[in-house]
């Protein structure tokens, strides 16, 4: 996932989740920067991204709260 993908991630989020479940661009960037190998976008060739995934290892067996950094 690149910096250029963040706007698409924000758009997808707004289309798919209610406002109380949305996270900030700053949090998306921090997560991507912390675990770049496990943050992806998907798109058909030549089209804008249509899906995204942020994943990360957990050493504490705890799910990170929405809109909070890892």
**pLDDT tens for each residue of 13-66:** 999 999 999 999 999 999 999 999 999 999 999 999 999 999 887 777 778 888
Total-model pTM: 0.83
Name the 3-class secondary structure at 54. strand
Nearest to 54 by CA among 70, 38, 34: 38
Q: Give residue 3's region: left, alpha or beta (phi > 0; psi -120 to 50).
A: alpha
From residue 29, give the alpha-carbon distance in Å to each of 19, 37, 54, 64: 19, 13, 11, 15
Would you say 31 and 54 are in contact if contact means Cβ atoms under 8 Å apart? yes
């Amino acid at each position: 996932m690149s910096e250029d993908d963040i706007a698409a991630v924000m758009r997808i989020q707004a289309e798919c989740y209610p406002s109380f479940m949305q996270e900030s661009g700053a949090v998306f960037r921090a997560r991507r920067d912390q675990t770049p190998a496990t943050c992806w976008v998907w798109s058909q060739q030549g089209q804008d991204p249509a899906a995204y995934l942020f994943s990360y290892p957990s050493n504490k067996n705890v799910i990170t709260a929405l809109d909070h950094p890892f």
